[in-house]
Amino acid sequence: MAKVDGPLMSLGASGKVGDALVFFAWKGTNVVRRWLKPTQPNSVLQGYVRAAMYAIGKVISKIQSISGGDPVDSALYSLNTAAAPSGVNWNAFFAQGFLNLLQTAGAFQTALFSSKIAAYSALGTAVLTAFKTNATALGLADFAFDYGYTTNIEAGCQLYFGALAAYENGIAASAPYNVDPNSWAASDVDSFKTDFVAV
């Protein structure tokens, strides 16, 4: 049932009228739109996209900034803020770097997502260990979805996704960000982790 304030003067309304209209406030303006029944198909593709978004989102949540309550911005936050185009939030810019690697002609490709996980698994032992150790130190944890991409995505792999995003976005002209993470040494991974929390 819709709730209205001053119905004759149209001051405001919120809620659904039958299965036809939805009234709500958006950016300080009262708006109305056609009601659409929400669907959650839980398709394979949807599962892959959600796994990718969840993984990069977990990495972004570990980048410390003033908005997160820290007294000083971390180096990674500052680099992303400086590199982001005007009008684009730093976190959206960071995530876009990773998502761009998973698309062909603007369409998400499940094979590309799987290939990034395979590339992570093929890293040398020292670098793989560095990604795992530093991911754990940042508080990242493994996760798995029950549809779409159902294989466990390690914490180290999530940190690797963040490294890919930083490289793809070209956030800095110096190492390690100007080097493909597939060619990183363990010390580069350590530097990347430090930039999450330090100036």
CB-count burial class (<10 Å; 0-12, 13-18, 19+) for 91: buried
Domain ranges, ordered by start, for the chain = 3-34, 44-197
| pTM of the predicted model over 0.85 | no
Cross-strand pairs, 12: 5
pLDDT value at residue 160: 98
CB-count burial class (<10 Å; 0-12, 13-18, 19+) for 199: exposed
Cross-strand pairs, 147: none
pLDDT value at residue 64: 77
32 — pLDDT class (breaks 50, 70, 90): confident
Mean pLDDT of 166-194: 96
82: which residues sit within 8 A by CB, 6+ positions away?
Answer: 171
pLDDT at 167 over 80: yes
Placement of tokens 């180290």 in the chain:
156
Better pLDDT: 45 or 28 = 45
11 — pLDDT class (breaks 50, 70, 90): low
149: which residues sit within 8 A by CB, 6+ positions away?
Answer: 47, 48, 51, 110, 113, 114
The percentage of residues in the chain with a pLDDT greater than 70, rounded to a whole number, is: 90
Q: For 121-163, how does the pLDDT look when each residue is reduced to its tens digit (9 = 90+)? A: 999 999 999 999 999 999 999 999 999 999 999 999 999 999 9
Choose the weakest-confidence range: 10-19, 21-30, 90-99: 10-19
pLDDT at 59 over 80: yes
CA distance 157 to 140: 10
What DSSP string runs through 92-108? HHHHHHHHHTTEETTEE
